């Protein structure tokens, strides 16, 4: 039920626009994405905070999936749909972090 609320919030908040030429987001994919308990980072290649996060994940042996919002247009659409502002945006399951700091990441990674 809470996943349906998340999807409805995205759709009705104005973050997802129906008049764009891009393919509409798949609602089932959003619900599945919200259920996962893995680390996902939306980033760019040139961002120093993104690089700090990459280094930390590697040093700690933390598996993660990275999406470059400048090179991957589907990732950019998802980033815009969830209201991404700034980089990196890191998710651990449904928990979200904007930017990167070790202490902040450890709070959502518990």
Residue 5 lies in a domain: no
Average pLDDT of the chain?
A: 78
Whether the model pTM is above 0.75: no
Number of domains in the chain: 1
Q: What is the rounded CA–CA span in Å between residue 76 and residue 3?
A: 21
DSSP structural state of residue 95 = E
Residue 80 lies in a domain: yes
Cβ distance 47 to 90 under 8 Å? no
Residue 92 lies in a domain: yes
**Distances from the Cα of 2 to the Cαs of 5, 34, 67, 108, in angstroms?**
5, 10, 25, 19
Residue 9 lies in a domain: no
Q: Which domain holds residue 101?
A: 36-109
CATH code where residue 59 lies: 3.40.30.10
Residue 73 lies in a domain: yes
- pLDDT, one tens digit per residue, over 27-42 is 444 444 444 569 999 9
């Amino acid at each position: 039920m809470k996943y349906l609320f998340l999807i409805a919030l995205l759709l009705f908040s104005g973050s997802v626009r129906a008049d764009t030429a891009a393919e509409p987001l798949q609602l089932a994919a959003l619900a599945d994405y919200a259920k996962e308990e893995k680390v996902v980072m939306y980033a760019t290649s040139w961002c120093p905070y993104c690089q700090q996060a990459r280094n930390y994940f590697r040093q700690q042996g933390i598996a993660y999936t990275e999406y470059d919002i400048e090179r991957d247009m589907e990732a950019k659409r998802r980033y815009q749909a969830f209201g991404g502002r700034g980089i990196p945006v890191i998710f651990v399951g449904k928990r979200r972090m904007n930017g990167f700091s070790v202490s902040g990441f450890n709070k959502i990674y518990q």
